[in-house]
Amino acid sequence: MFRLTREKLELADLIDLVTDPEAGAIATFIGTTRNNNDGRKVIALDYDAYPEMAEKELARIGDDAKRQWPICRMAIVHRIGPVQITEASVMIAVSAAHRDAAFAACRFAIEEIKRTVPIWKKEVYEGGEIWIGTQSGQRFE
């Protein structure tokens, strides 16, 4: 399953989705929102996405991973909208017969998300906000 959500993420839901009788391993990754970046104190984060394309790209990552490693199932869920500091912004779970494929595909998935999926993070600071990747935003007076 590959989707975006405004709801809080639950790792147990992803593990259920990839549970498979052929699997001997499940690897998971959780991306969390931290309270600092480049020396700035981050007070809030807000994710925007091009939803139809982002979900297609997430599914494409799953297809590519299946071609490269012998995995059973993959699930990726990404938050959009406001995300509180310490909460998860993305979760990935991959099941495979053996751990090497599960770890490798999980790593591949997060790297691909950061490279190609049309999702954008805005960091809000005391005194301004920035769309990460563009280094553009606005200063609050």
Partner 1 sequence: MNVKVKFFAILRERAGVAEAVKEIKSGSTVRDLWENLQRDYPKLAVPGIRLLYAVNQEYVTPDRVLKEHDEVVFIPPVSGG
Instruction: Point out which residues bind partner 1 (CB under 8 A).
Output: 31, 47-50, 52-54, 56, 78, 89-90, 110, 113-122, 131-138
Q: How far is the CB of 29 from partner 1 (least distance, A)?
A: 9
Closer to partner 1 by Cβ: residue 53 or 85: 53
By beta-carbon proximity to partner 1, the closer residue of 56 and 66 is 56
Q: Which two tokens stand for residue 116?
A: 């190609």
CB of residue 118 vs partner 1: minimum separation in angstroms? 5
The least distance separating partner 1 from the CB of residue 97, rounded to whole angstroms, comes to 27
Complex with partner 1: residue 66 or 121, whichever CB lies closer: 121
CA distance 55 to 78: 9
What six digits make up the tokens of 127? 């005194």
Shorter beta-carbon distance to partner 1: residue 17 or 137: 137
Residue 76 CB, nearest approach to partner 1 (Å): 10
Q: How far is CA 28 from the centre of its chain?
A: 11
